[in-house]
Structure 1
């Protein structure tokens, strides 16, 4: 199955919902939600904010609401930029927890057609800490082949 195919009608159990993330692009910030099921990681594009002051910012709040209760297949169909990575293709999920002066960072790496790919995401200002969610992924036997880790800091930086 390719990363863009959906499987309508099949039930999947959601393991985690990693919410409130953005990806820095040269001219914009893309807002993403991640749904982890027992079979795949569904990447859900929920908005984009451009660096130009002339363009209205869409920080993804409406899109996040749609993803919250959606099935993985429904979430995948909400935007053409959405895609899914089979859990078998995941290589690492690394979270660096945020501090008072530094945003949390999530780096997800996977392999597609023998080529590595990764996204580096940063927590939005309104995002809750997701240390517990990522630590739960590390304990999940379905992700035993994935390098899952959390880095926390007690200081301000």
Structure 2
């Protein structure tokens, strides 16, 4: 069976000590691709999402070109995933996706108020079944 894109989740970021790294998450039928869109080193209040101008290009690419989009992309085969925890946005916290693999944990947040974490849960649950949880 050939690989195909199921969904693209936009506007996620990983928080570092001095920077934010921006990603879009591409869900295929075989893997997750965390597409690195850039990083921001500005002070907290002035940070801008460097991926804003790159997202239009991403949706028109095939999977091979998405993987080659950046050397900083993170490719996660579904067989390496232990679990995925989804957390909905609330008054005090941003929504996030935490992916735990055999070797790493990736925790990506989103400030996007329009993201439907229930939809994300159902999309991932069709592929990964009991490995996905939603809080």
Same fold (TM over 0.5): yes
Taking structure 1 as the reference length, what is the TM-score of the superposition? 0.74
Rounded Cα–Cα distance in structure 1 between residues aligned with 2:70 and 2:108: 19
Rounded Cα–Cα distance in structure 2 between residues aligned with 1:17 and 1:84: 14
Unmatched 5+ residue regions in structure 2? none
Unmatched 5+ residue regions in structure 1? 1-9, 152-157
- What residue is the counterpart of 2:32 in the other structure? 41
What is the deviation of 1:126? 5.9
Q: CA RMSD for the aligned pairs?
A: 2.4
- What residue is the counterpart of 2:23 in the other structure? 32
What is the deviation of 1:57? 3.8
Taking structure 2 as the reference length, what is the TM-score of the superposition? 0.84
Deviations 1:96-129 (A, max 9, x none): 1002332112101112xxxx20111111346523
- 2:127 aligned with 1:133: no
Rounded Cα–Cα distance in structure 1 between residues aligned with 2:47 and 2:99: 29
- What residue is the counterpart of 1:91 in the other structure? 82
> Which stretches of structure 1, 4 residues or more, deviate above 6 A after TM superposition?
none
- What residue is the counterpart of 2:67 in the other structure? 76
- What residue is the counterpart of 1:143 in the other structure? 128
What is the deviation of 1:92? 1.2
Change (3 A) 1:134 1:56: closer
Change (3 A) 1:96 1:58: closer
How many residues end up aligned between the 2 structures?
Answer: 134
